[in-house]
A and B are shown apart, each in its own frame.
Chain A
Amino acid sequence: MTDPGRSGDDPRDAELIAQWKAGDQRAATELVARHAPALARFAASSGAREDVDELVQDTFVRAFGSLDGFRGDSSFRTWLFSIERRLLMDRRRAERRRPQGMEIGEDDAATEYDALDELVAGETQGRVRNALERLTPTQREVFVLRVTEGLSYKDVAKVVRTTEGAARVHYHNAMRAVKEFLDA
């Protein structure tokens, strides 16, 4: 799978969006290829389990369904991250509303472990994974978007719906926590 440019390429995205709106379906294929890997990483790091693939697909379906509403205030990738995060939060809420008799089974737990395990592999990766697991959800989101995806604080703030200053604080707290864990 191609992953051209982890932080995206806004001018190229704008071209592809215009082409898709003009009826070029191949532009959609390229847009998906450009951004699906980043969305999958973000989903996995945010705790999505076996449904990473489905979550990424739902994100694109929703994004293309409302592409006319994309004003370009942020990059296309940032917009996609925002949509994916909202979908992820909706799913978490739905899971919390699940009846108590439908608790997460062993298979689910194993799949969650597998998804995280796939995110970072090997001894070093395992330590990094453990460090990330100790972060709060918001710290982890901010850290992953900043370090793994290379988003600016401004874009990170848009995705997690906070201020730029708060995003900066989350990042530095997360970095301190990761360092402490790895130094221990």
Chain B
Amino acid sequence: MRDCSNATMRDRLPDLLHERLPVAERADVRAHVAACPECRAELELLTRIQAATVTPRVDTSRIVAALPPHRGGYRGYRGYSWQRAAYSPMLRIAAAVVLLAGGATIGIRTVDRGDDILVPTPSRDTSPIAVAPVPPRSDRGATTAPVQRVSTNGPAELAMGEMLDDLSDSDLRALLDVVGKLEAMTPAETEIVVPAVGRGGA
């Protein structure tokens, strides 16, 4: 069996066999095949090969049963899913910002608690919420409002305060009460300067 020299027409033969050619082109190829014994023989061979092909049996119902279920259909609102939301990039960014901001706030508060804060010094001989006693000092001006610097870091640091050595137990309890109240304040409000009205005050 010889080959036709018109490769373009030979290329079209399988398309003619499967009726895939546009109408005009189909007419051209058919006209060529009618006039070309080589192409006619080749088309016959293709027809035989196609007819000789047997389709193996396939159990389509079993295949359909094995298919994965469709995942949704309508792709609009599908209810809120935390699992899906957790993978949202925007949510991840927002969570990172919140974590950073929260961490920074906690850090600032921790640092603030470690710092000395100014509290009113309770008076030795008055009620616990009385004004802070200030020992007379020659280097302090009488018009300056004296303040007591107290550390809140613990008993050891409390003991370091030179002005606390001579406080009574009730004074210390009162001081701790005041410190306890200050703990509940926000960092921005912790630094309170109360003019102490000392024994010899204004």
> Which residue of the partner chain, among A1, A22, A23, contacts B57 with CB atoms under 8 Å?
A1
Q: A53: CB under 8 A from chain B? A: yes
Q: Which residues of the other chain, A, contact B73 by a CB distance below 8 angstroms?
A: 21-23
Interface pair A119/B56, CB less than 8 Å apart: yes
The answer to whether A128 has its CB under 8 Å from any CB of chain B is yes
Q: Which residues of A contact B10 (CB under 8 A)?
A: 172
Is B60 a contact of A146 with CB atoms below 8 Å? no
**Stretch binding the partner chain, chosen from B14-22, B153-161, B170-178:** B14-22
Of the residues B7, B52, B56, B69, contact of A124 by C-beta under 8 Å: B52
- Nearest B residue to A132 by beta-carbon distance? B49
B143 within 8 A of A: no
Inside 8 A of B59's CB, which chain A residues have their CB? 53
Kindly list chain A residues whose C-beta atoms are within 8 Å of the C-beta of B45: 178-179, 182
Cα separation A152 to B20 with both chains bound (whole Å): 9
Question: Is A122 engaged at the interface, CB distance under 8 Å to the other chain?
Answer: yes
- In chain A, what residue has the closest Cβ to B48? A124
- Is there an interface contact between A60 and B17, defined as CB atoms closer than 8 Å? no
Given known pairs A1-B60, A61-B67, A128-B48, the reply for A150 and B17 (CB within 8 Å) is yes
Residues of B within 8 A of A124 (CB): 48, 52
Q: Which of B63, B66, B68 contacts A36 (CB 8 A)?
A: B63
Contacts of A53 in B (CB 8 A): 56-59, 62
Is B50 an interface residue when CB atoms closer than 8 A count as contact? Answer: yes
Q: Which of B17, B64, B68, B69 contacts A29 (CB 8 A)?
A: B64
CB of B82 closer than 8 Å to a CB of A: no
The docked-state distance in angstroms from the alpha carbon of A124 to that of B45 is 11
A-side interface mostly: helix
Asked if B42 is at the interface of the complex by the 8 Å CB criterion, the answer is yes
Decide yes or no whether B53 CB sits under 8 A from chain A.
yes
Please state if B3 and A32 are interface contacts (CB–CB under 8 Å): no
What 0/1 readout, one digit per residue, does chain A (32-65) give for beta carbons within 8 Å of chain B?
A: 1100110111011100000011001100110011
* Total interface residues in chain B, CB < 8 Å: 37
> In the assembled complex, which residues on chain A have CB atoms less than 8 Å from the CB atom of B1?
179, 182-183
- Report, as a range, how many residues of chain A touch the other chain: 35 or more
Q: Which residue of B lies closest to A119 (CB)?
A: B54
**17 extra interchain contacts, Cβ-Cβ under 8 A, other than A39-B58, A57-B63?**
A3-B55, A21-B75, A32-B63, A32-B64, A40-B58, A41-B55, A52-B58, A56-B63, A60-B63, A60-B66, A61-B66, A64-B68, A118-B54, A128-B48, A128-B52, A150-B20, A152-B15
B67 touches which one: A28, A56, A175, A183 (CB < 8 A)? A28
The 8 tightest CB contacts between A and B, nearest first, are A23-B73, A150-B18, A125-B52, A40-B56, A179-B1, A57-B63, A120-B52, A37-B55
Bound Cα distance A11, B14 (Å): 22
Closest chain B CB from A160 CB (angstroms): 16
Complex contact A60–B67 (CB within 8 A):
yes
User: Quick check: is A115 within 8 A (CB to CB) of the other chain?
Assistant: yes
Distance in angstroms from A121 CB to nearest chain B CB is 6
Cα distance A108–B140 when bound, in Å? 108
**Given A121-B54, A122-B52, A150 contacting B63 (CB threshold 8 A):** no
Interface string of A1-22 (1 = CB under 8 A from B): 1010011000000000000111
Assembled-state Cα–Cα distance A25/B75 (Å): 16
The 8 Å CB contact of B62, one of A6, A37, A57, A125, is: A57
User: How far apart are B119's CB and chain A's nearest CB, in angstroms?
Assistant: 66
